[in-house]
Amino acid sequence: MSMSKFWSPFVKDLVPYVPGEQPKLTKLVKLNTNENPYGPSPKALAAMQVELNDNLRLYPDPNSDLLKNAVAKYYGVQSNQVFLGNGSDEVLAHIFHGLLQHDQPLLFPDISYSFYPVYCGLYGIEFDAVPLDAQFQIDPADYAKPNGGIIFPNPNAPTGCLLALEAVEQILKASPDSVVVVDEAYIDFGGETAISLVDRYPNLLVTQTLSKSRSLAGLRVGLAVGHPDLIEALERIKNSFNSYPLDRLAIVGAAAAFEDREHFDKTCRLVIESREWVITQLQAKGFEVLPSAANFIFARHPQHDAAGLAAKLREQGVIVRHFKQERIAQFLRISIGTPEQNQALIDGLGDL
C-alpha cells in the first residue's frame, strides 16, 4: 500500500527544483553552484561571534529591524520599502504566492531560473515562458502583452546576460498594472541595480541575496525592495507563514556585511577580473562564451558535446553545471572560482 494516501492531493503533481550537486568529496574543484570563492566579510563573522551567546534562547526580532535599516541605508530607501527572508528563494516564494497569482499568465524567460516554474506548480499559477532571442537575450518588446505579472533574473541565469536599466524600464512602462519582479541575485558582478527605479514605478519589486556577492550562501538571507504596498503584502504572507525567518546570527551578520563596503568591493572586483581571464582562456580554446555580468559564464564549444566535456572535467576533479533543457543542452555553466580553481578548469579541459 502506498503511503502517499496521506499526501494532500496536489503534492503528487509537484515537480521540485533540483539544486546543483553539493558533492561530499572535499578535493573537488566545485564550479557548479555559483558560490563566491572568497569568504564573507570578517566584520560579518565577528558580529556573528559576538551574537553567539546565551541570548540564543530568545527569539530574534521578527522584523529584523537592524538589518532592514542597514539595507535601507545602503540603497537610500525607507525601511518600509524593504522585505527580508530566509534566502531570496523564500522571498521569491512569498512573491509568487502573494503578488503573482492572477487571472492572466505570469511571464518569464524560457531560459531562466528553473525555480520559477516550480513555484508556479506549488501555487497553481499559469505561466507563459517567453523565448529569449537568438543571442539568448531578453527582448523587452516580447513582454508588452497582457500578463498577470513578469519576473526575470538580471543578469539572467543561467546565461549571465545583463539587461540594461533602460530596457528594464521599458518592460515596467509597458505593464503598469502588473508587478514586475527583477531578480538581482548576480547584479553586483557588473550590473546596475533597478532599486534606483522603485520610487518611480510602484509596480517594481527588486529581489537580492547575500549568497553570491556577499559570500553568505550558508547563512540564507534574501531581500526585496519596492513600494511599501508591495512590501506590506509580503509581510502579511510572511506573518501567516513564519514570523521569525531570520535568526539572530543572520540578522547581525548580514547587517555587518552591508556595512563592510571595502570587503564587498574588493571581492566583487576579484571575481570580475577572474571572469574576464576565464573568458579569454576559453575563447582561446574555441569556446563561444555569452557576455556575462554574473559570477559565472555560459559557454559552448562548436566541436564538443557539453555533457561529454562535463564528464571529462569531472574525471579531472572539476565540477560544472550542465542543463538538459533542449535550447541550452550544448552549454556549460561555469562558476568563477579562485585563480587556482580557474586554472584547474582550464587545465582540465586540456587541448581539446
Residue with cell 546570527: 249
Rounded distance between C-alpha atoms, residue 172 and residue 176, angstroms: 6
Rounded distance between C-alpha atoms, residue 213 and residue 294, angstroms: 10
Give me the amino acid identity at 121: G
- Going along the chain, which residue ranges are E strands? 29-31, 82-85, 106-109, 127-130, 150-153, 180-183, 204-209, 222-226, 288-289, 296-300, 318-322, 332-335
**Spatial CA neighbour of 116 closest among 158, 86, 83:** 158
Residue with cell 539572530: 248
Extract the residue ranges of the chain whose pLDDT is less than 70.
1-2, 25-26
**Phi, psi for 298 (deg, rounded to 5):** -120, 115
Rounded distance between C-alpha atoms, residue 188 and residue 275, angstroms: 13
For helices 248-259 and 65-75, angle between their N-to-C axes, nearest 10 degrees: 20
| pTM score | 0.95
What per-residue confidence (pLDDT) applies to 26? Answer: 66
For residue 299, what are the β-bridge partners? 289, 332
For residue 180, what are the β-bridge partners? 150, 204
What per-residue confidence (pLDDT) applies to 1? Answer: 56
Residue with cell 527580508: 84
CA-to-CA dists, residue 215 to 99, 249, 257, 267, 281, angstroms: 29, 15, 9, 9, 25
Spatial CB neighbours of 23, under 8 Å, sequence gap ≥ 6: 30, 319
Determine which helix (DSSP H) or strand (DSSP E) holds 256, and give its type and residue range: helix 248-259
- Quick one: fold of 42-259? Aspartate Aminotransferase; domain 2 (3.40.640)
Helices (H) and strands (E) in the chain, counts: 10, 12
Q: What residue ranges of the chain are covered by domains with CATH 3.40.640.10?
A: 42-259
What per-residue confidence (pLDDT) applies to 17? Answer: 85
C-alpha cell at 314: 569531472
- Quick one: fold of 20-40+262-349? Aspartate Aminotransferase, domain 1 (3.90.1150)
Neighbours of 290 (CB within 10 A): 20
- DSSP code at position 204: E
Q: Is residue 284 exposed (0-12), middle (13-18) or buried (19+ Cβ within 10 Å)?
A: exposed
Give me the amino acid identity at 98: G
